[in-house]
Structure 1
């Protein structure tokens, strides 16, 4: 029952919330950081990319280590490392005349911590809850916490930067300490999972990985790619929106944070509602995923076709894309977590998280490059990836009739 593990679920949900805040809080203040440091748009986008690039490399290792030694033993040190990275970035910005390199180092260290925190959340949920319906609902809460972070990030980031531009960096250590204490004292992992973890050797890890992809490669790779594309769309469009609100519509500061929060709020609400409804029906998950991606594609294409969109049209269409992604993400999480055996979840969900981080890493710098040629070109390129995601949802994810599992 969910009520029996309420404290654990709240503590677990704090991890994606804080990891998202640690990255997405910077989106609305990137123009201010660029101005303060006197750097290019591409250079400032690397503050997002370096975080994600480091995480991409380390997430599979963290997944293996969580299978080998247990989830909490990886999550807790990772949260502390994330906090230290934020502290280095914040103090570097505060104390140094030319802090860009030090900020990048701190962001890279945050990426190391992120690799062992959020990706381990999905298998941890699968370990704690026995019923698949409870797993789906819990994953919906986790994904909602993730998207809630995206809602709060632009508002909180803008408020903190209004005080002083580097304050968002210094807020991360405090948030990480809070999450660490919650996980340490409230999350109770099953004793059986801890015993199983000790049996996982590196040789077993490689053999399991080969076997998993031999049996489930098609639908797993499809979900990996869709998750990557969803993150690419989110971070690419929000990066574009952050710059456009200041340069074209002259909206900055706290008000810009509230405007950017609108598409994120739409995404968050959609994730919450779908997470409560999908249950164990994997066929339903497939068609919701496909429909969500179609909605994203249509919204992004429409945005690209508009010659000179008003602020209202721009926010409406990006919010519709947010709803499409919001209904898609909980389905992907559930398909991954419920379609893989418990002892293998850490490995597979870590690879899935790596793919999502690739989308996060690529989105801002690619958007900064494409928008120099044309905003229309940027939207058409993004919509092209969405078409690919829709085709993957339609043909790669095929639940069986009898078992309801993706195959």
Structure 2
């Protein structure tokens, strides 16, 4: 029996969710890494593979607000566990796909739907265990995103080149299933204190998450900024390995490694620094969190343009590094900002709405770049992503300047 009252248990919760999120991102990125081999083996077009990624994100967006709703009403532990078991089984099954239809069913629908139920209860559970250390814990948690993508870039390409692309899905899916079983026995819901318990009649409805996000200016603007972030990241993650593979004659393993490692190593460094800085600045003024996000998106844009247009691999890798480091200032603050302006009982529901909106908008990025690729080239597509992030930086600054102070005061009176 796990004693959740132990001071150190909150760090075990972080560790369990950290590993789960690592597999979440690794399983998601495996498809992008093995895409050239999969496309050739199954005879798919650029638009076809872009559509698979787009449908994945649309399905994810469709189910994630439902995940937020059930996460505020039922056991977060069991929703998280069921999610990792389901998406891992779907990832493993993707290795048996024989064509576009099966990929859509197993990858876009099953894997996307399974992963949708992880995010909202995962972040809400982590926030329950970490209050004063919230931004730092969220930053540590975010490092698993970066390592998951690096791991998949290294391992999936290595496996695919030696045993075939199917084995990449088999192995990552199996490892996720094993960790899901471990979480059954080790992960526990945070006990609810009697004086903080929410009565049944006050439990959030499915529409409450939408009302709270779209009715709170800072939460709405954060959601727009998050959508810009996801649009850029989804396009980059889907097409950058292929860009290096086709334009610089790198092997599949080299393209998978170089397209992911520099970005996410520097993002790893950046998110730890940003989380510490955010918690320190928030003591003076919590609005600094969203200002850090705005600056991160804006300062990342020159590096996006560099990595998509430089003729030298060295300069492209420098672009990856700067892009990763600066975007980490957004990542470190996303849920801290949201939870600062949203009452605690709506945390999971609000997370679901924000994630839904971000991934719905971001889902169009792979197919847009797939359309741009044969006409203007991927360099033009990546430059377009920089423009999207500039817009996101501007709207976040508007929230910092005009809305967040009022929204913070409103939550304090709830």
Common fold by TM > 0.5: yes
Name the CA shift for 1:69/1:270 in 2 (closer, same or farther; >3 Å).
Answer: same
Secondary structure of 1:147's match? helix
Q: Residue 142 of structure 1 aligns with which residue? A: 141
Q: Residue 3 of structure 2 aligns with which residue? A: none
1:277 deviation in Å? 3.0
The answer on 1:26 being equivalent to 2:31 is yes
CA contact (8 A) 1:367 1:378 kept: yes
Deviation track 1:202-257 (CA, whole Å, cap 9, x = no partner) reads 8744356535643x2x1111111211211221221233321221212110132222
Q: Residue 385 of structure 1 aligns with which residue? A: 388
Q: Residue 343 of structure 2 aligns with which residue? A: 341
Name the CA shift for 1:258/1:404 in 2 (closer, same or farther; >3 Å).
Answer: farther
Q: Residue 220 of structure 1 aligns with which residue? A: 219
1:364 deviation in Å? 1.9
One of 351, 354, 359 as aligned partner of 2:353: 351
Q: Residue 180 of structure 1 aligns with which residue? A: 180
Unaligned 5+ runs, structure 1: none
Unaligned 5+ runs, structure 2: 1-5
CA contact (8 A) 2:89 2:173 kept: yes
CA contact (8 A) 1:227 1:329 kept: no
Q: Residue 288 of structure 2 aligns with which residue? A: 284
The 2-side partners of 1:104 and 1:211 are apart by 33
Q: What is the TM-score when the length of structure 2 is the normalising length?
A: 0.87
Name the CA shift for 1:152/1:207 in 2 (closer, same or farther; >3 Å).
Answer: closer
1:403 deviation in Å? 6.0
The 2-side partners of 1:323 and 1:243 are apart by 22
The 2-side partners of 1:400 and 1:314 are apart by 40
The 2-side partners of 1:84 and 1:197 are apart by 35
CA contact (8 A) 2:26 2:148 kept: yes
Deviation track 1:129-172 (CA, whole Å, cap 9, x = no partner) reads 3x3x3121111111111222122221122112122111122123
1:333 deviation in Å? 2.0
Q: Residue 325 of structure 1 aligns with which residue? A: 327
CA contact (8 A) 2:89 2:174 kept: no
Name the CA shift for 1:198/1:51 in 2 (closer, same or farther; >3 Å).
Answer: farther
Q: Residue 121 of structure 1 aligns with which residue? A: 122
The 1-side partners of 2:168 and 2:198 are apart by 37
One of 12, 37, 44 as aligned partner of 1:7: 12
The answer on 1:57 being equivalent to 2:62 is yes
CA contact (8 A) 1:23 1:48 kept: no
CA contact (8 A) 2:30 2:153 kept: yes
Name the CA shift for 1:73/1:31 in 2 (closer, same or farther; >3 Å).
Answer: same
Q: Residue 51 of structure 2 aligns with which residue? A: 46
The 2-side partners of 1:116 and 1:88 are apart by 19
1:200 deviation in Å? 6.2
1:121 deviation in Å? 1.1
One of 71, 75, 91 as aligned partner of 1:70: 75
Deviation track 1:25-56 (CA, whole Å, cap 9, x = no partner) reads 22221111111111101212233222221111
Name the CA shift for 1:346/1:244 in 2 (closer, same or farther; >3 Å).
Answer: same
Q: Residue 230 of structure 2 aligns with which residue? A: 231
The answer on 1:85 being equivalent to 2:90 is yes
One of 402, 405, 413 as aligned partner of 1:400: 405
The 2-side partners of 1:197 and 1:160 are apart by 49
1:325 deviation in Å? 1.2
Name the CA shift for 1:361/1:47 in 2 (closer, same or farther; >3 Å).
Answer: same
Deviation track 1:53-82 (CA, whole Å, cap 9, x = no partner) reads 111101101111111112123222222211
CA contact (8 A) 2:304 2:323 kept: yes
